[in-house]
Amino acid sequence: MTAIDFVHWSNKFAIWADNYRKTLRSRPVRPNVQPGDISSQLPVSAPETPESMENIFKDFEDKILPGITHWQHPGFFAYFPANATPVSILAEQLCNAIAAQCMLWQTSPAATELETVTLDWLRQAVGLPAKFTGVIQDSASSATLAAVLTMRERALAWQGNTEGLQSNKQIRIYASDKAHTSIDRAIWISGIGSDNLVRIPVNGELGSMDIDDLKDAINKDREAGFTPAGIIANVGATSIGSTDQIKDVATVAGSENLYLHVDAAWAGSAMICPEFRHLWAGVEKADSVVFNPHKWLGVQFDCSAHYIREPEALVKTLAIQPEYLKTHGKDGFVNYSEWSVPLGRRFRALKLWFVLRAYGLEHLRTMIRNHVSWSMNLANRLDSEPDFELTSKPVLSLFAFRYVPKGTIEAELEDINQKLLNNINDDGRIYLTQTKIGGMFMIRFQAGSVETTEADVKLAGDIICELARNPV
């Protein structure tokens, strides 16, 4: 390979990264580019001969960076956060250098054992009982797929992997109609089919699955000859934070002998604060739970914490042991690749370990409490403005609103709010996204960036009001 000055570039990138973080506020959160603007600047084929690092880096700065959405920007209030503390970034630098494949215990014993230890720290931190064992998945989508496959195999007496889904048993899975699309995809990929995902309507202030409807659906399905296999419950669903009553759902799952998986992808990180745990009361009765430290705990993507009450069922579903993957002459270890769909695994535990140690739980709790209270203040402010309306009550740091200027009629509001959202995002100081509930268009707000301050959230309120009342 061509020699490059590794130390020179590595140092240069460290200085670049520091400056990047410090200048985030001066950049538009979402780039103002059109589809094709970036790719049209790039050659259509790879070079035959080496190019200099100077040129490559210059193109990175000139052509790539202007097309980046800055997720670590303090004005990032869109979607859900994908926050990254500086310590997490540093840990990833070490992982990059080591570049280990951590699929089996023996392919990096320390990676496996650190994963076991840090996930147990995190389990205690969020108040899950000791009977839960954790594994780091690349994403909540993967954890939910693993859970759905486990539901399927359990319901098919562990024959599905060999016989396929030809048996007469038509499996049914239940979730609220606010569940994330990762659940739909898990149902597709597992071969269960979206017709067999039964959507239960929600009610109540938190948007919880109607328990009677859930019971009815299960009973009707049994009578019709279907095989109910599992329930997926939400804690803080993506659109407006809909949250199921886990305790009640778990009671149904228990009496119906169904597997219960809890998707707390975003909200789960907040459970390091005991005062928020009422949101998932009853979670100890679930069979598995997933949440993403890569969303709101300062541990950058990818780090999804998947806790399982009986890992044996998961391993029975996913493990496959050809001779070339066996470890002879040792026992008393786990091979985490048997707990997930992909074989290959990055060394993900290191950044979690660094973050938990460098900040400590108290500091992380303060970060989350700040996000929640700043966001709540903004919700209260918009609620008190005569021309704004809160369209969803805050759940942790998430709420939705719309602009309702005097004299407008309902039919005009979607257009007005879509234009307001476009103006806000073209302005570039903050970034927000939208959702629709029951046909009503609304703008979402969530605070979760590690760089966000109280002043940033206040400024967001000023920008929203200013651009609503004086559209550009």
Ligand X SMILES: *Cc1c(COP(=O)(O)O)cnc(C)c1O
139 part of the interface to ligand X, by CB under 6 A: yes
Site for ligand X contains 140 (CB under 6 A): yes
- Say whether residue 397 binds ligand X (CB under 6 A): no
Q: Are 179 and 232 in contact (CB under 8 A)?
A: yes
Nearer to ligand X, 241 or 428 (CB): 241
How far apart (Å, rounded) are the C-alpha atoms in residues 305 and 134?
7
Helix, strand or coil for residue 306? strand
Question: Considering beta carbons, is residue 147 or 460 the nearer one to ligand X?
Answer: 147
Q: Does 141 bind ligand X (CB under 6 A)?
A: yes
Give yes or no for residue 85 binding ligand X (CB under 6 A).
Answer: no
- Taking CA atoms, 374 is separated from 170, 215, 315, 347, 369, in Å, by 48, 39, 42, 34, 9
User: Given the complex with ligand X, which of 85 and 242 has the nearer CB atom?
Assistant: 242
- The stretch near ligand X (CB under 6 A) out of 206-214, 260-268, 355-363, 366-374 is 260-268
Tell me the pairing of strands 227-234 and 171-176.
parallel
Choice from 150, 208, 243, 304 touching ligand X (CB under 6 A): 304
Considering the complex, state which of residue 277 and residue 419 has its C-beta at the smaller distance from ligand X: 277
34 within 8 A of 41, measured Cβ to Cβ: no
Could you tell me the strand order of the sheet in which 433-437 lies?
388-395, 398-403, 440-446, 433-437
Question: Measuring CA to CA, which residue among 78, 68, 81, 113 is closest to residue 300?
Answer: 81
Beta-carbon contacts of residue 313 (< 8 Å; ≥ 6 apart): 150, 153, 154, 287
Backbone angles phi, psi at 232, to 5 degrees: -115, 120
Q: Quick check: 265 binds ligand X (CB under 6 A)?
A: yes
Q: Which two tokens stand for residue 14?
A: 């460290």
Amino acid at 152: R
- Radius of gyration of the chain measured on its C-alpha atoms: 24
- Smallest separation (angstroms) from ligand X to the CB of 265: 3
Element (H, E) at 98: helix 86-98
Contact between residue 208 and residue 231 where contact means Cβ atoms under 8 Å apart: no
The minimum distance between CB 443 and ligand X, in angstroms, equals: 18
Helix (H, G, I), strand (E, B) or coil at 240: coil
Rule CB under 6 A: say whether 263 interacts with ligand X. yes
* Closer CB to ligand X, 235 or 273, in the complex: 235
Pick the stretch among 136-144, 185-193, 198-206, 214-222 that binds ligand X (CB under 6 A).
Answer: 136-144
80 is a site residue for ligand X (CB under 6 A): yes
In the complex, the smallest distance separating the C-beta of residue 387 from ligand X, rounded to whole angstroms, is 30
Q: Which of 30, 123, 180, 351 binds ligand X (CB under 6 A)?
A: 180
Which span sits near ligand X by CB under 6 A: 259-267, 376-384, 387-395, 452-460? 259-267
CB of 236 to ligand X, least distance (A): 6
Least distance to ligand X from the beta carbon of 412, Å? 31
The binder of ligand X chosen from 118, 288, 292, 317 (CB under 6 A): 292
| Residue number with CB closer to ligand X (221 or 287) | 287
Q: Which of 209, 233, 237, 404 binds ligand X (CB under 6 A)?
A: 237
141 versus 196: smaller Cβ distance to ligand X: 141
Instruction: Tell me how far apart the alpha carbons of residues 47 and 302 are, in angstroms, rounded to a whole number.
Output: 31
Q: Does 261 bind ligand X (CB under 6 A)?
A: no
CA distance 390 to 131: 40
SS3 assignment, position 437? strand
Catalog residues that contact ligand X under the rule CB under 6 A.
Answer: 80, 139-141, 180, 182, 237-238, 263, 265-266, 292, 304
